[in-house]
Chain A
């Protein structure tokens, strides 16, 4: 009757005293560390963290700002790049301290989030990038011609409409291959808004973040469109300025309202914002109709757009999750963001150009200052 149970017991490895001791010591160490950590957190004041969410376009710039700002002040900034739509939804729901959007709030969005300020923090430009072997940057195009290309009514590169704009260029007798964004995107919104504004043929039903394109191939993200243009001869697509600069793509000069053909650069985009600034509303006004497309001025690039940080004018709307200290930190950060120099040290805007973002012209910085000065917490002004 020497049974299986005994054999099993014999087979089972005995836990040696050594192992037991190691386990006990490990548990004690973990417990001490956790307790110490909790106590330290209890007694020392926790670091301030500002949370933002929204557009993917300014994300690299905001990430740079966050990295510099934490070493300067100890205030952390966490930004989630989730898309402009999500940014507006989250600031409306007050789950983040600031939102970011490439498009201003429309009437519905504005009514859902009363007291939200628009703070332009940088400027974007959309370029017409093409791949025509042997033809460098600077092909002359107009909004009308671009609209007809993206509608599929101009189908060949040697079409007379393109040829008359470029008498000195030998255009190939090749079909135009059109590429557009496949994903919903602020870049698409800017591009289709421009085509509608600058042509007689682009219908308003095709203005949107992801309209139903009449022709062409869709690729995801700026990288997808840029990659397709680079790999495919006779292709034209629209790409955010930073991508065309960083990938040295060939881009078109586009005719602005004064009749000049303008190459997209940081300077020509900044000029567009500066020349449009007198028409801008105050930060607490209605921005739904704001556009710096086709901005006046002889050197303005016509396909430019402001991009916004969204922040509440009265910060007590967050309830108990907002404190006086945090509200002050938020406003100080935004103040630092929209300036070139703060307290004698380089501030937010001075980091823009290196990352191929367009620095704010003085006129828009002044506008932002007014908006940030008006922010209060329980009625108290935060920035003096």
Chain B
């Protein structure tokens, strides 16, 4: 009887598709996962090859050069690296506090009736295509920025070199604002998930110790979820750094460095999108654009590595404090 059972089991295992399916699934997912890594490597290699002409012509000067002139064929990337960093940084500055507010409200404070619809709406906003934000920015936001918001900011902070000049509504400040609008849904949706993942016992423990709602949220919840929140911010930063269409429509597209946020600027992604159509393969301009792509890829890599290090450091310190 026992022997029969064993035989039957073996037979079943060999006939049923389960075993084959399992190993097929294992290999298929493995191939796909390795393929993604290989694709990234291939992209880097192709960019490197295509950028050769520019790398040989300009050398390190490409990164420090401030002139981008397709008539004289002289290319320097500094204004665009600067523009990308400045607009992304200001977008975070504007967007992160709002996003955290949204996330904390949705996770900790909102009544159940509001929570579900609001969460849906926030997640829906994260899925709006960027060109839609861009056109909204061009048609609606830019005139409002020029006529009321920027003059108001200038009235308040005009003594800073950052806010001098004539507000036009299409400048680095407007680009930062539209980027902030675009990253808020991403950051708040992911942060909310991190906050929801905090065990209920954390909150209860803090409240039991006599903490107020605010203290409990700050000490027991946000602190506990900070790695996840940090990850959310990095995700938002990634979107801001690589954003193309909305920035192109708002930033004014001027290929030079200037301190004032009310001056036009240019980001790497926006310049590539603008110039690629008319840049011919085999000419130095397209090679320089490829090198810019490489620079953008490296920037994203550095930001990500830096973020990982920060997260792991923050976590370790947290453990030390107990």
User: Which of B67, B143, B278 is A232 in contact with, Cβ under 8 Å?
Assistant: B143
Kindly identify, within residues 54 to 100 of chain A, every residue whose CB is under 8 Å from any CB belonging to chain B: 56, 82-86, 88-89
Q: How far is the CA of A56 from the CA of B276 in the complex (A)?
A: 13
Q: How far is the CA of A5 from the CA of B13 in the complex (A)?
A: 8
A211 within 8 A of B: yes
Output the least CB separation between B144 and chain A (Å).
10
Interface string of A171-201 (1 = CB under 8 A from B): 0000101000011111000000000000000
Output the least CB separation between B165 and chain A (Å).
12
Q: Which residues of B contact A56 (CB under 8 A)?
A: 277
Q: How far is the CA of A152 from the CA of B290 in the complex (A)?
A: 32
Q: Which residues of A contact B13 (CB under 8 A)?
A: 5
B168 within 8 A of A: yes
A343 within 8 A of B: no
In contact, A183 and B169 (Cβ under 8 angstroms) = no
B148 within 8 A of A: no
Tally of A-B residue pairs with Cβ under 8 A? 114
Q: Which of A34-42, A213-221, A369-377 contacts B (4 or more CB under 8 A)?
A: A213-221
Q: Which residues of A contact B68 (CB under 8 A)?
A: 212
Interface string of B276-301 (1 = CB under 8 A from A): 11111110000000000000000000
Q: How far is the CA of A204 from the CA of B298 in the complex (A)?
A: 36
Residue of A nearest to B253 (CB): A218
Q: How far is the CA of A218 from the CA of B254 in the complex (A)?
A: 7
A206 within 8 A of B: yes
In contact, A217 and B69 (Cβ under 8 angstroms) = no
Q: How far is the CA of A85 from the CA of B285 in the complex (A)?
A: 12
Q: How far is the CA of A83 from the CA of B138 in the complex (A)?
A: 24
Q: Which residues of B contact A184 (CB under 8 A)?
A: 70, 274-279
Instruction: Answer whether A212 and B255 are a contact pair too, CB < 8 Å, given A1-B5, A85-B280, A224-B138.
Output: yes
Q: How far is the CA of A206 from the CA of B255 in the complex (A)?
A: 14
User: Which of A2, A82, A186, A207 is B71 in contact with, Cβ under 8 Å?
Assistant: A207
Most B CB contacts (10 A, CB to CB) among A8, A183, A209, A227 go to A183
In contact, A217 and B279 (Cβ under 8 angstroms) = no
Instruction: Answer whether A84 and B278 are a contact pair too, CB < 8 Å, given A5-B12, A184-B70, A227-B139.
Output: yes
In contact, A182 and B170 (Cβ under 8 angstroms) = no
B9 within 8 A of A: yes
A275 within 8 A of B: no
Size band of the interface chain A makes with B: 35 or more
Output the least CB separation between A31 and chain B (Å).
23
Q: How far is the CA of A218 from the CA of B138 in the complex (A)?
A: 12
In contact, A231 and B278 (Cβ under 8 angstroms) = no
Kindly identify, within residues 138 to 187 of chain B, every residue whose CB is under 8 Å from any CB belonging to chain A: 138-139, 142-143, 146, 166, 168-171
A296 within 8 A of B: no
Interface string of B84-101 (1 = CB under 8 A from A): 000000000000000000
Q: Which residues of A contact B188 (CB under 8 A)?
A: none
A49 within 8 A of B: no
Q: Which residues of A contact B279 (CB under 8 A)?
A: 85, 184
Residue of B nearest to A207 (CB): B71
A228 within 8 A of B: yes
In contact, A228 and B280 (Cβ under 8 angstroms) = no
In contact, A218 and B278 (Cβ under 8 angstroms) = no
B53 within 8 A of A: no
* 4 nearest A-B residue pairs (beta carbon): A218-B253, A184-B278, A182-B253, A83-B277
A-B contact pairs, 20 of them (CB 8 A): A1-B2, A3-B9, A6-B12, A9-B16, A12-B16, A12-B18, A56-B277, A83-B278, A86-B277, A88-B280, A182-B270, A184-B279, A212-B255, A212-B256, A217-B170, A220-B245, A220-B274, A227-B135, A228-B142, A231-B138
